[in-house]
Amino acid sequence: MDKPVIYVLSDSLGETAELVVKAAASQFNSGNAVINRVPYVTDKETVNEAIHDAVKDNAMVAFTFVLPELREYTIKLCQLKKLPYVDILGPVMEQLIRITNKEPKFEPGIMRKLDTEYFKRIEAIEFAVKYDDGKDPRGLLRADVVLVGVSRTSKTPLSMYLAHKQIKAANVPLVPEVKPPKELFQVDPKKIVGLIISPHQLNEIRKERLLALGLRDHASYASMERILMELEYAEEIMTKLNCPILDVTNKAVEETASRILKIIKEG
């Protein structure tokens, strides 16, 4: 048979089984197998129909079922009809049960679900990078949450942490000399979180930042006078925005992020 016919059955999309079959078929000069994929098989009736067609085509059957009853039924039916078959997932799952001494979830399509979550997380991370530090105010209206506050209130670390939770976070620094973007005032106040901090802690953080950059720690950026002015200005803007305000003084990023997630959920 120059072009073997293979029926691929799955309780999900069937991509895994099809890739395995194609990889195997490519090792033969008579490759170019005809693959008939039958996705979302959830009952015995669908198995019967697929096996019936496979018999007419003198085909081989490959399947990836996580539900034991469907696997066992398909095996018995293939044996009854004298069809060659390959249980791609079953043996691997049985060995994992043996070595882990745990029962699987038996949830079809779980790998695709995990893949979807992974890509959502990557998308959120890319969003956080693109709209960090007010670089592009157009992203504010697309964000799940917008963080505002003076410099060194953990806006960027919080944005990245939230991105790993699949939350698209943008952040805007509040600086007295720079007028906030008009887009910020178009965002739903429930989607904005203001970050404030003790002036004394901010003073210490900024001094350490300057030293890390090889600069003198008594520069204007770290002076108490400057810090008090910035914090007063930031609170004025937050009042105009009518947004929730969180005090990040002595708070870990995880703790503040948890409170932000709660605000998003309740909003």
Q: Which residues are annotated as a binding site for ADP?
A: 149-156
Beta bridge partners of 169: 145
53 vs 76: CA distance, rounded Å = 16
Q: Which tokens is 125 given?
A: 């991370």
CB distance 68 to 12 below 8 Å: no
**Residues 111-114: contacts with CB within 8 Å, 24+ apart?**
111/12, 111/16, 112/12, 112/13
Binding site membership: which residues? 149-156
Q: Which tokens is 228 given?
A: 């008090």
Burial degree of 57 (CB within 10 A; 0-12, 13-18, 19+): middle
Beta bridge partners of 61: 7, 85
CB distance 178 to 255 below 8 Å: no
Degrees to nearest 5, angle at CA 111 with 105 and 114:
105
Residue of 9, 16, 15, 6 whose CA lies nearest to 71: 9
CB distance 90 to 67 below 8 Å: no
Neighbours of 26 (CB within 10 A): 10
